[in-house]
Amino acid sequence: MFHIQTEISRHTEHEVVVVGLFDQGKGFSANVEEVNMLLNGQLQTLLEDGDVSTKKHAISKIRTLANETIKRFYFVGLGKKEACSTEVVREAFGALFQALKVAKLTEVTVLADSFISDKVDVLDVAHLLGQALPMSTYTYEGFKTKKNEQVDVEKVTIISAADKEEIGAALQVGEIYGLAVNSARTLVNTPSNKLTATDLANYAVELAKKYDIEYTIVEKEEMQELGMGALLAVNQGSTERPKMIVLKYQGKEEWTDVIGLVGKGITFDTGGYSLKQPPSMIGMKTDMGGAASVLGAMEIIAQTRPEQNVLAVIPSTDNMVSGHAFKPDDVITSLSGKTIEVLNTDAEGRLVLADGVTYAKQLGANYLVDVATLTGGVIVALGNHTTGAMTNNEALYEQVLEAAFEEDEDVWQLPIFDRDKERVRGSKIADLNNSPGREGHAVMGGAFIGEFAEDTPWVHLDIAGTSSTKSVSKLGPVGGTGVMVRTLATLVERFEK
């Protein structure tokens, strides 16, 4: 897939040579000036005439005609050099690879050094290219009997003066990140009758076997013995068996300083007896987006092998209606021993996460990050592009925020005040209630989970608005986004206790 060279070969025919172009007035950097000379000094004229654009993410194609080794140049607009960020470069590569896919071009040569700015070095460029290629060209056709023929980029030659081994490593890790995001997208996009809790568990087992990490699947009978009453309550109405999925990656000699990643794995959510309206029920196959994010992150971690200990815990079931389903006014006992008055069966995600968080602690997690498509309230508060966060530990949250910033995934913190905790503790007949009301809905969901994190440093990420999209972007199609996969993996890679 990737080949690295220090200069354009004069003896090899290049179908396409890609050049990054900044809006910096007249004059070019040394690597772009070389391209200008190959175009007989006409690049400035092409810019002035509008045949080539430096506008951010613009793709301009120029045929060379008389050149013996290069058939055409693709110029990628990067905007102002001083404003060029990793996000700009990642999306610019996304726009490029989407254009190449439409043109059905399978080979490309990229002048990596032409994408360097004050904020983005050449190793960043290689990493971002590796990410963008699989992400931007991802498609999910699911179960169509007639599928569109795909033409993919099969060979990318990177031209750079930098160290070949370092460039190669950055490309490889970037590709690992991009492919893992796509894995999470596919899980989110898969219909719930094709992705039950058992299917999700089987997927996790295959992932663990492929990359040689430990796994355990806790079955219903053991859940009953352990007392996982919250997860079991949500599962009561289902004909599908629940699963508590556990993956363990040990990057240190001792099982200490363990980072616990807990993902909500509700494979379909009817709302239970607090039944959703029909329009709101469509798309509930995506309610396991948190589980997908955690599994995507583990796919990266298992390959990059950081010197950290990581535990992934995924409580999984669907939430159905039947004569056996749990009901409003029920009182259930969670794995922690805390009792919960059920006021809303559609607030089921926080229930399964209660047992997931408790079980992660029992297995040795010293730090917790849970990821969940938890509340519609976070969409009202933050829209569809920002993940909501809550925490009981600002130091841990700062590390999550730094990882999200590095991966250009927007996160915004919502508060949990003592009065919010009191609302969650407001039941007259149990320790907690699962739905204190619509006001501050997103905060109530986070505050409830926080009751089970207790004193363990914990961050909650509500991805209800960001786990899927209705809009095509430069980095992917409509559907699952794979949000937080990169952030979680980067958090683990950079983690400091």
Alpha carbon of 421 to those of 297, 334, 452: distances in Å? 30, 18, 12
State the Cα–Cα distance between residues 267 and 195, nearest whole angstrom: 7
Query: Are 372 and 235 contained in the same domain?
Result: yes
Q: What's the domain count of the chain?
A: 2
Q: Is residue 408 included in any domain, yes or no?
A: yes
Q: Is residue 382 included in any domain, yes or no?
A: yes
- Using one digit for the tens of pLDDT, what is the confidence trace for 110-150? 999 999 999 999 999 999 999 999 999 999 989 988 877 77
- The overall average pLDDT reported for the chain is 95
Q: At 313, which helix (H) or strand (E)?
A: strand 309-319
State the Cα–Cα distance between residues 182 and 186, nearest whole angstrom: 6
Query: Are 258 and 301 contained in the same domain?
Result: yes
State the Cα–Cα distance between residues 497 and 485, nearest whole angstrom: 21
Last residue of a domain, one of 102, 126, 161: 161
- Using one digit for the tens of pLDDT, what is the confidence trace for 375-396? 999 999 999 999 999 999 999 9
Check whether 293 has a pLDDT greater than 90.
yes
pLDDT (average), residues 450-462: 98
Residue 365 phi, psi (nearest 5): -65, 125
Query: Are 235 and 352 contained in the same domain?
Result: yes
Check whether 11 has a pLDDT greater than 70.
no
Catalytic amino acids?
A: 276, 350
For residue 253, the domain's CATH number is 3.40.630.10
State the Cα–Cα distance between residues 454 and 435, nearest whole angstrom: 19
- Return the higher-pLDDT residue of 408 and 34: 408
Is 287 annotated for ligand binding? yes
According to the model, what pLDDT value does residue 132 have?
98
Q: Which letter, b or e, does each residue of 190-210 get, where b requires 16 or more Cβ atoms within 10 Å of its Cβ?
A: bebeebbbebbbebbeebbee
Distance between alpha carbon 369 and the CA centroid of its chain, in Å? Answer: 14
% of the chain with per-residue pLDDT over 90: 88
Query: Are 238 and 383 contained in the same domain?
Result: yes
Query: Are 295 and 221 contained in the same domain?
Result: yes
Is 318 annotated for ligand binding? no
Is 155 annotated for ligand binding? no
Is 264 annotated for ligand binding? yes
| Other Cβ atoms closer than 10 A to 455 | 7
Is 348 annotated for ligand binding? yes
> How do beta strands 14-21 and 70-77 pair?
parallel
The range of the structural domain enclosing residue 198 comes to: 181-494
Please report the sign of the dihedral spanned by the C-alpha atoms of residue 482, residue 483, residue 484, residue 489: positive
- Does the model's pTM come out above 0.95? yes
Query: Are 196 and 337 contained in the same domain?
Result: yes
